Amino acid sequence: MALVTHGDQKYKNSEKLAATSDWPGLSIEHRKFEAGRQATPVPICTEIVVVLSGGGMVCRIGNGEVQKSFARPGMSYLVPVGTQESHLELSDRMECLHLYLPPALLNQSALADFDIDPAKVEIAYAHGLSDQVLFHICSPLRDLLHRPRQPTDALFVEGIQVALAAHLLGNYTIDRWRAPDKAPSLDPRRLQRVLDYIETSLASDIRLEDLAAQACLSPYHFSRLFREATGLSPHRYVTDRRVQAARQELARDRLSLVEIALAFGFGSQANFTRVFRKAASLTPGQYRELCCGEAELQSDRSDAAFRRDCA
């Protein structure tokens, strides 16, 4: 029997790119979000959210606890079954992988086999986890959603489910996990001003001094606090945003490579090609061909499905 989840009820303002719920112990969704608030129903299973691309401030309130963190690719969030969430808001667009696990991660006999006290298996409402082990367990499931089904998938998913249960029980039960101590950080409002300035200035020459002025800090202190808040240097963050914006424009196939280079602050087509290839392992032209090829394939599939329905 497939696992019943709350994803469609909670993430009404997102685009579901792919999903599968074929297995009783694990359901998977790949979703694309724009900035804004999401619904907050009480989760009926335990949810793991892994950020795949994009990023920004994530503000959420659950069980009376206010949590604010800057999401970036590779970061994870936990939402245990029964969490009383009252607020969830994203400051920017991002793509996430959502994994849903049963309310009981392991049955009573399995807990007894591993000498685990059932009273101590409640998962914490944890946020902003830079846990590479968790990320590497979860991330292969994205590829599973976007390729043809294979006979061994059920065995693969069963192994992932067990690995996830073991990792969560070993690290993120309420008696084990503690939120990290707060260090001096960049105020969320100042950070948001900086991020908004970057988004509206991608075509311009963005200097460190300009970003620091938006945060009312010296360039030295701003650079240090920005890296602590986002995990990236200001220069790297600006470059990543330019590459992400260029990816989207390449997929639309409306502007020439020179026009995209100038529109997103690369200065020249040669520099655009160099920076883009370093980030994406493809030239802009190759990336555009790949996107157009996938779009044509999807169109052919839709046409074939339509012809079958009309037959």
d(CA 49, CA 97): 6
- Contact (CB, 8 A) for 5 and 45: yes
DSSP 120: G
pLDDT at 306 over 80: no
User: What pLDDT is stored for residue 143 in this prediction?
Assistant: 87
Band of the pLDDT at 308, cuts 50, 70, 90? Answer: low
pLDDT, tens digit, 9 for 90 and up, residues 252-289 = 888 999 999 999 999 999 999 999 999 888 899 999 88
Band of the pLDDT at 106, cuts 50, 70, 90? Answer: low
User: What pLDDT is stored for residue 70 in this prediction?
Assistant: 86
The two structure tokens encoding residue 9: 């009820």
Q: What are phi and psi of 203, to 5 degrees?
A: -80, -10
Pick the CATH number of 188-291 from 1.10.10.60, 1.10.8.60, 3.40.50.1980, 3.40.50.2000: 1.10.10.60
Q: Among 207, 180, 181, 182, which Cα is nearest to 194's?
A: 207
Give the Å distances, CA to CA, from 5 to 21, 39, 294: 9, 14, 30
User: What pLDDT is stored for residue 3 in this prediction?
Assistant: 83
* Amino acid letter, residue 290: L
d(CA 202, CA 260): 11
Give ranges for CATH 2.60.120.10 in the chain. 7-171
d(CA 273, CA 209): 27
Question: With respect to CATH, is domain 7-171 assigned 2.60.120.10?
Answer: yes
pLDDT at 291 over 90: no
d(CA 168, CA 97): 17
Taking every pair of Cα atoms in the chain, the longest distance, rounded to a whole number of angstroms, is: 68
**What ranges make up the beta strands (E) of the chain?**
14-23, 26-33, 36-37, 46-54, 56-62, 65-71, 76-79, 85-90, 94-101
Question: Residue 300: helix, strand or coil by DSSP?
Answer: helix
Q: What are phi and psi of 232, to 5 degrees?
A: -130, 150
Burial of residue 67, with CB atoms counted within 10 A of its CB: 0-12 exposed, 13-18 middle, 19 or more buried: middle
pLDDT, tens digit, 9 for 90 and up, residues 155-200 = 999 899 889 988 998 899 888 888 766 656 788 888 989 999 999 9
Contacts of 163 (CB under 8 A, 6+ apart): 137
pLDDT at 300 over 90: no
- Contact (CB, 8 A) for 77 and 102: no
pLDDT, tens digit, 9 for 90 and up, residues 5-53 = 999 999 998 999 999 988 888 999 999 999 899 999 999 999 999 999 8
